[in-house]
């Protein structure tokens, strides 16, 4: 299943990341809005980042201030540091990073400049896999000429892949290797590009940093919650609706999002969260708000902000497709992941097809626990999240498949190579 994308402005909110003009933002327009302002005191900006509570938008929601301080301290000891803007968007259900690079490349580059300055880096990389995004970013760099002073920014184009966006894979590519994760430790903040401490930051996080530098921490925190301040870009797919990229304030009610998105709550059976990584949630999602603390309390996560709404699709069939995707996309270099994703995909597919037994479900449940943390990257953890959430969130549906009695699958189970993939951007609208 594939989906085209509409970009929509959230009602009553002045967008921070989104633009209503589908054309790429020019250098003139960006600087007129306050971009690329001189950074006279990096320490003051770092303090503002701390006060803002800005969390990473790539999936882990790690505090940016902590990451910046750590890399800066390590870089001072090592005699230098490096910054990478990570725009390799591996989640098929997410398009926010590509959208930013295609339409707001200067916001990303400004954020990369700021982050590099704070950590004391003189060399930075913009790491992307989308060719159109790379073209627009390269055009933005050409517009800048020498305006970034001593900072050198190099564009790195890599073949797309689920594991290619993992932070050690990004470092591996910049260092001349393949786009595959490496063993940890060391982590990039300890030793990364050329052995130097390296900041790897998602491009939306960098664009948020650029906004913060212009408007300040107090303004940044006027939207969102205490724990999850600010806004985030959410790619919403599923429910037989066109995909939409929203900019949402953290804390918005899922019920309100469904109303705006045009999906009746009574039709919703659950959601696939954080792209594929955070797994499935049942109808409990209907009473939730979209912030890290609330979604974590439900046993899931916002991840990269990609949310797939489930209505007619059977959760077992969805899980089988997602686990098969993980099986195909793993790096093939860790036996636990190579064999574990294959085993979980096989059981889920057998369950979908009505040929699995209670012992298979028990194995799936056990694997979802014991396989966590065994790979070089988080691919196996993502697969475990999907398997664990399926059996925990939808026990009745799982049981119905043991007897080949799933109403949703009688007319043909949902199968997809890249479930709910978003392929392209179509238009920008207000809602």
Is 2 a domain residue? yes
| Spatial CA neighbour of 159 closest among 96, 93, 89, 94 | 89
What pLDDT does residue 304 have? 96
Is 204 a domain residue? yes
Mean pLDDT for the chain overall: 95
3-state secondary structure (DSSP) of residue 327: helix
Q: Is pLDDT above 80 for 424?
A: no
For the record, the structure tokens of 286 come out as 């209907």
What pLDDT does residue 313 have? 93
Q: Same structural domain for residues 239 and 337?
A: yes
Q: Same structural domain for residues 258 and 216?
A: no
The answer to whether 310 and 318 have CB atoms below 8 angstroms apart is: yes
pLDDT band at 2 (very low <50, low <70, confident <90, very high): low
237 sits in which H/E element: strand 231-238
Q: Same structural domain for residues 33 and 140?
A: yes
What pLDDT does residue 20 have? 77
Question: What share of the chain in percent tops pLDDT 70?
Answer: 97
* Alpha helix ranges (H) inside 157-223: 167-174, 203-220
Q: Is 343 left (phi over 0), alpha (psi -120 to 50) or beta?
A: alpha
Q: Is pLDDT above 50 for 277?
A: yes
* Cα 173–Cα 277–Cα 6 angle in degrees, nearest 5: 90
Q: Same structural domain for residues 204 and 235?
A: no
Q: Same structural domain for residues 359 and 413?
A: yes
Q: Is pLDDT above 50 for 1?
A: no
Identify the domain boundary among 156, 189, 220: 220
Is 431 a domain residue? no
Q: Same structural domain for residues 215 and 240?
A: no
Q: Same structural domain for residues 166 and 203?
A: yes
What pLDDT does residue 335 have? 94
Q: Same structural domain for residues 198 and 248?
A: no
Is 351 a domain residue? yes
DSSP 8-class letter at 78: H
Is 225 a domain residue? no
> Measuring CA to CA, how many Å separate 207 from each of 67, 139, 428?
16, 17, 19
Average pLDDT over residues 204-222: 98
pLDDT band at 19 (very low <50, low <70, confident <90, very high): confident
**What is the spatial distance between Cα 174 and Cα 103, in angstroms, rounded to a whole number?**
25
3-state secondary structure (DSSP) of residue 5: strand
Q: Taking the C-alpha atoms of 163, 164, 170 and 173 in order, what is their torsion angle to the nearest 10 degrees?
A: 120
For the record, the structure tokens of 293 come out as 């603390």
Identify the domain boundary among 173, 197, 220: 220
CATH number at residue 293: 1.20.1440.230
Q: Which residue range(s) make up the domain with 261?
A: 1-7+230-426
Average pLDDT over residues 150-177: 96
Identify the domain boundary among 166, 199, 220: 220
How many structural domains are present in the chain? 2
**What is the spatial distance between Cα 240 and Cα 187, in angstroms, rounded to a whole number?**
41
pLDDT band at 241 (very low <50, low <70, confident <90, very high): very high
DSSP 8-class letter at 62: -
CATH number at residue 172: 3.40.50.11540
| Spatial CA neighbour of 307 closest among 232, 369, 393 | 232
Q: Same structural domain for residues 171 and 284?
A: no
* Alpha helix ranges (H) inside 123-186: 131-144, 167-174
Q: Same structural domain for residues 197 and 250?
A: no
Q: Same structural domain for residues 400 and 261?
A: yes
Q: Same structural domain for residues 247 and 156?
A: no
Is 383 a domain residue? yes
Is 240 a domain residue? yes
Is 354 a domain residue? yes
């Amino acid at each position: 299943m594939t989906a085209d994308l509409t970009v929509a402005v959230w009602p009553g909110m002045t967008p921070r990341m989104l633009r209503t003009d589908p054309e790429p933002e020019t250098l003139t327009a960006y600087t007129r809005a306050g971009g690329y302002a001189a950074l006279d005191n990096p320490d003051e900006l770092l303090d503002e980042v701390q006060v803002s509570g800005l969390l990473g938008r790539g999936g882990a929601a790690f505090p940016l201030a902590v990451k910046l301080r750590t890399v800066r301290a390590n870089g001072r000891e090592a005699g230098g540091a490096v910054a990478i803007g990570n725009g390799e968007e591996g989640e098929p259900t997410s398009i926010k990073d590509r959208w930013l690079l295609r339409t707001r490349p200067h916001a990303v580059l400004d954020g990369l400049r700021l982050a590099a300055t704070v950590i004391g880096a003189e060399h930075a990389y913009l790491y992307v896999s989308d060719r159109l995004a790379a073209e627009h970013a390269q055009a933005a760099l050409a517009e800048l000429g020498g305006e970034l002073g001593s900072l050198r920014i190099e564009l790195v184009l890599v073949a797309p892949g689920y594991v290619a966006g993992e932070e050690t894979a990004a470092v591996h590519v910049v260092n001349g290797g393949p786009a595959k994760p490496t063993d940890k430790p060391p982590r990039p903040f300890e030793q990364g590009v050329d052995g130097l401490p390296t900041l790897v930051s998602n491009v939306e996080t960098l664009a948020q940093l650029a906004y913060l530098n212009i408007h300040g921490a107090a303004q940044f925190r006027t939207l969102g919650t205490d724990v999850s301040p600010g806004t985030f870009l959410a790619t919403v797919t599923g429910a037989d609706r066109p995909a939409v990229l929203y900019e949402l304030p953290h804390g918005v009610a899922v019920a309100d999002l469904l109303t705006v998105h045009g999906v009746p709550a009574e039709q919703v059976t659950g959601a696939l969260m954080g792209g594929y990584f955070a797994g499935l949630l049942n109808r409990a999602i209907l009473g939730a708000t979209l912030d890290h603390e609330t979604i974590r309390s439900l046993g899931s996560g916002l991840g990269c902000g990609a949310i797939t709404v489930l209505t007619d699709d059977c959760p077992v069939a969805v899980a089988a497709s997602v686990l098969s995707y993980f099986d195909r996309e793993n790096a093939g270099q860790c036996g636990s992941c190579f064999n574990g994703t294959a085993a979980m995909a096989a059981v889920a597919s057998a369950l979908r097809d009505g040929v699995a037994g209670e012992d298979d479900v028990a194995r799936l449940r056990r694997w979802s626990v014991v396989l966590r943390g065994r790979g070089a990257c988080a691919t196996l953890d993502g697969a475990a999240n999907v398997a664990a959430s399926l059996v925990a969130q939808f026990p009745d549906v799982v049981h119905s498949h043991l007897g080949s009695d799933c109403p949703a699958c009688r007319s043909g189970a949902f199968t997809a190579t890249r479930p709910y993939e978003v392929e392209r951007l179509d238009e920008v609208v207000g809602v």
